[in-house]
Amino acid sequence: MSTPTLTAATRAVTDPPAPAGTRRLFAAGAPDLAHHAATFGPLPHPDSAALVDEVQAAGLAGRGGAAFPAWRKIASAQKRAGTRDRVVVIGNGAEGEPMSAKDATLLQRAPHLVIDGLLLAGAAVGATELYLYTGAAALASVRAATLERSDARGIVLREAPDSFISGEASAVIHSIEKGRAIPRDHVVRLTTSGLRGRPTLLHNVETLAHLALVARYGADWFRSVGSREEPGTRLFTVRAPDGLRVIEAAGGVSIAEAVSLAGVDPRGFSAVLVGGYHGGWVRSEHLGRPLTREALQEFGAAPGAGILMGLPVGSCGLTAAAQIARYLASQSARQCGPCVNGLPELASVLTRLASGRRDPGLPAEVRRLAGIVTGRGSCHHPDGTARFVLSTLTAFADDVEAHLAGHCLGGAA
């Protein structure tokens, strides 16, 4: 890897200074182009190879859930840039997860930073076809932002349906192509064959916003906050009593700190679901753990898309989990057996356990069904659901024993 020199080539003496602290993505304070330009300066035009080097040095990982290194996706798409079919670039802001609001909030409060990242990614791979795919809540703000600038007039906007799987990569492609967010088996990488069979670079909108910052200020600036494993800042959605709150915090912040930054007292939780409905439960005694993959691995959790949903003290974890499992079963695309048959049965067995059915074979049946659906779907929805359910049995093992004995530690059974 060459020594990153991007910032020296793209920053001018008269450009505004880089944002300080952890208020980066929302530093402009308003969504219009004037505030954006005054805060971040003009869109840089870095050399494509230098941009990839800088993004690699920054350690920027995808913010959509999988945490795939952003530079690898761009580099893979660049290899296809000279082929007959030009690369397509898609900004994914679907956010089908009910407990997530970060992407919609970002697109409403800082749409121009996302547009910058989309344009930079497009330029890096020689794309002439750019899409921004997002839910109805953010569509108006994105449309208004594209009309403010001539370089964004060619971006095609597509509304994502309100479904849990609408942001899954292959479902995004199918939705743009045919109007329905249906996942499909993808044995071939999108950067080889995606939209209409063309090489496709798909990034989460928060990833694109960070890309725009790295292009301006460089890897060292990006890494000046956060941890070695989780450099930079990231957005978190925290469920509060009055709804969802979105915060920007340093990478590697602890679960308790992130919850507190949202104005919520973590001492009021007996557990926190980390990573959303496909995530894992972390009990209250472990809320000091940093939000990194390594620190959360033993709980079957990961930072994912930055979702933190607390379980209030006195509530039953099994009851809450059964409700989520039923929702996940209802979100099937109904195209493969594990989703059509396996997930409803898995949710049903967990519901019987949560409702106080005193059958000692129920936990084993939950585990058996989770094993059956894992790795057999057209997408990873069955895997994520199984992972969540298994995390429930582990985190609430005492509750399982109590329910089988005829009482509930949370007072529900």
Q: Work out the number of other CB atoms within 10 angstroms of the CB of residue 19.
A: 19
Asked whether residue 270 falls in the same domain as residue 376, the answer is: no
Q: Which two tokens stand for residue 62?
A: 């995808």
Residue at 411 is within a domain: no
Q: How confident is the model at residue 8 (pLDDT cuts 50, 70, 90)?
A: very low
Q: Is the pLDDT of residue 385 over 80?
A: yes
Q: How confident is the model at residue 80 (pLDDT cuts 50, 70, 90)?
A: confident
Asked whether residue 214 falls in the same domain as residue 237, the answer is: no
Q: How far apart are CA 62 and CA 85, in angstroms?
A: 25
Residue 330: its pLDDT value, please?
Answer: 95
Q: Is the pTM of this model over 0.85?
A: yes
Residue at 228 is within a domain: no
Residue at 19 is within a domain: yes
Asked whether residue 53 falls in the same domain as residue 165, the answer is: yes
Please report how the helices 343-354 and 397-404 are oriented relative to each other, as an axis angle in degrees rounded to 10: 70
Count the alpha carbons within 13 Å of 233 in the hemisphere toward its beta carbon: 23
Give the domain CATH number at 349: 1.20.1440.230
Q: Is the pLDDT of residue 296 over 60?
A: yes
Start-to-end CA distance of the chain, whole Å, equals 59
Identify the domain containing residue 256 by its residue range. Answer: 233-312
Q: How far apart are CA 396 and CA 184, in angstroms?
A: 34
Sign of the four-CA dihedral 63, 64, 70, 74: negative
**Which amino acid, 5?**
T
Q: How confident is the model at residue 11 (pLDDT cuts 50, 70, 90)?
A: low
Q: What is the DSSP string of 156-224?
A: EEEEPPSSGGGGSHHHHHHHHHHSS-------S-TTTS-GGGS-EEEEEHHHHHHHHHHHHHHHHHHHT
Residue 376: its pLDDT value, please?
Answer: 84
Domain termination site, one of 281, 312, 343: 312
Please give the average per-residue pLDDT across 322-351, as a whole number: 92
Residue 1: its pLDDT value, please?
Answer: 40
Calculate the average pLDDT of the chain: 93
Please give the average per-residue pLDDT across 178-189, as a whole number: 81
Between residues 260 and 357, which one has the greater pLDDT? Answer: 260
Residue 65: its pLDDT value, please?
Answer: 84
Per cent of the chain over pLDDT 90 is: 83
Residue at 48 is within a domain: yes
Spatial CB neighbours of 21, under 8 Å, sequence gap ≥ 6: 225
Asked whether residue 250 falls in the same domain as residue 361, the answer is: no
Most confident of 117-126, 186-195, 352-361: 117-126
* 395-409 core/surface letters (b: 16 or more CB in 10 A; e: else): bbeebbebbbeeebb
Residue at 114 is within a domain: yes
Cα 74 to the center of its chain, rounded Å: 18
Condensed to tens digits (0 to 9), the pLDDT of residues 38-55 reads 999 999 999 999 999 999
Residue at 119 is within a domain: yes
Residue at 159 is within a domain: yes
Asked whether residue 321 falls in the same domain as residue 299, the answer is: no
Q: How far apart are CA 272 and CA 65, in angstroms?
A: 17
Residue 6: its pLDDT value, please?
Answer: 59
Q: Is the pLDDT of residue 289 over 80?
A: yes
Q: How far apart are CA 72 and CA 353, in angstroms?
A: 44
Counted domains in the chain? 3
Name the residue with tokens 């660049």.
78
Asked whether residue 103 falls in the same domain as residue 131, the answer is: yes
Q: Is the pLDDT of residue 13 over 80?
A: no
Q: Is the pLDDT of residue 369 over 90?
A: yes
Q: Is the pLDDT of residue 371 over 90?
A: yes
Asked whether residue 28 falls in the same domain as residue 143, the answer is: yes
Q: How confident is the model at residue 14 (pLDDT cuts 50, 70, 90)?
A: low
Asked whether residue 323 falls in the same domain as residue 398, the answer is: yes
Q: Is the pLDDT of residue 352 over 90?
A: yes
CB–CB of 96/328 below 8 Å? no
Asked whether residue 202 falls in the same domain as residue 247, the answer is: no
Q: How confident is the model at residue 29 (pLDDT cuts 50, 70, 90)?
A: very high
Condensed to tens digits (0 to 9), the pLDDT of residues 118-145 reads 999 999 999 999 999 999 999 999 999 9
Asked whether residue 193 falls in the same domain as residue 336, the answer is: no
Q: What is the DSSP string of 309-358?
A: EEEETTS-HHHHHHHHHHHHHHT--S-SHIIIIIHHHHHHHHHHHHTT--
Strands of the sheet with 156-159, listed across from one edge: 156-159, 129-134, 88-93, 200-204
